Amino acid sequence: MPNKLPNKLIGYLFIAIAAFLWGSFSVVAKVFFNEAYFDPLQITQLRVFSSGLALFLIILVVNREALKIGIKTFGTYLLLGFTILHVQLALYVAISLTDVSIASFLQYLAPAMIFAYAVIFHREPVRLKEIFILSLAIAGMLFLIASSIQNNLSMLGVIAGLWTAVALSIYTLYSKRVVEKHNPWIALAYGLLSISLLSFLFSPPSPEMFDGFPYKIPLFP
């Protein structure tokens, strides 16, 4: 019998795949925004809904018994979906106002925020290495803000990027709690699908949003 991959290695593999897909779609989203095909809310709704629906249907076929949950559990999953939608919407707003590199850099200030949260609220020990890394992150943010002022970049975009970091911090902390007690696939399926449907009530999508959409888009002209 072949040896199974260690769980830690599988985790790193999923992280690499997620990073590639996340970064790739950010580039595609910027093309959409530049050409005014979609706005950040529309593309967030489409992405969250399609992901949730696909995952829900897969689980329905593979293990429909797992979809039986209680009301309290559903509330937990709905909140998880909200944190995911919050992250994606914040990121796409930042991308639409600046560019992918700046939005991504600001988004990944989230680990520094999580570290600060752990130190303040959970009394985590502080080591010199962590202080050094945190200082570099803060310095990079300050240089970026200074550059944005000099190069007439959108300060609103920088603020949106920082908002993304806060949103990602909230999602990371909350999702950690969820997966410790629940099946992550079921949580994602219910969370993504329910929050996207709820968002449709507040901002219903219109078929007209696809009227001017070209189905052959050159990503690299």
- pLDDT of amino acid 119: 81
Question: Given a cut of 70, is residue 186 above it in pLDDT?
Answer: yes
- pLDDT of amino acid 160: 87
- Token pair belonging to 135: 């200082």
Coil, helix or strand at residue 112: helix
- Kindly report, residue by residue over 146-173, the tens digit of the pLDDT: 766 666 677 788 888 889 999 999 999 9
- pLDDT of amino acid 1: 41
- pLDDT of amino acid 34: 65
- Domain spans in the chain, listed from the N-terminal domain onward: 16-202
- pLDDT of amino acid 209: 58
- pLDDT of amino acid 36: 58
- pLDDT of amino acid 30: 72
State pTM to two decimals: 0.78
For residue 43, how many other CB atoms are within 10 A of its CB? 22
Coil, helix or strand at residue 140: helix
Confirm if 31 and 80 have CB atoms less than 8 A apart: no
Residue 48's nearest CA partner among 16, 82, 71, 23 is 82
Half-sphere exposure of 104 (CA within 13 A, CB side): 13
Residue 161's nearest CA partner among 103, 77, 80 is 103
- pLDDT of amino acid 39: 82
Q: Which residue has the higher pLDDT, 176 or 142?
A: 176
Coil, helix or strand at residue 163: helix
Task: Tell me the C-alpha to C-alpha distance, in Å, between residue 209 and each of 32, 33, 115, 156, 220.
Answer: 12, 13, 41, 25, 24
Q: Which residue has the higher pLDDT, 111 or 207?
A: 111
Confirm if 190 and 77 have CB atoms less than 8 A apart: yes
Percent of the chain with pLDDT over 70: 83
- Kindly report, residue by residue over 51-69, the tens digit of the pLDDT: 999 999 999 999 989 899 9
Q: Helices 71-97 and 184-202: crossing angle, nearest 10°?
A: 70
> What is the C-alpha to C-alpha distance for residues 107 and 94, in angstroms, rounded to an integer?
9
Percent of the chain with pLDDT over 90: 33
Confirm if 60 and 67 have CB atoms less than 8 A apart: yes
- pLDDT of amino acid 208: 61
**How many Å separate Cα 124 from the centre of its chain?**
26
Beta-strand runs (E) in the chain: none
Question: Given a cut of 60, is residue 3 above it in pLDDT?
Answer: no
Identify the burial level of 195 via C-beta atoms within 10 angstroms of its C-beta, where 0-12 means exposed, 13-18 middle and 19 or more buried: buried
Question: Given a cut of 50, is residue 220 above it in pLDDT?
Answer: no
Task: Give me the mean pLDDT over the 76-89 stretch.
Answer: 94
Task: Give me the mean pLDDT over the 86-100 stretch.
Answer: 87
Question: Given a cut of 50, is residue 109 above it in pLDDT?
Answer: yes
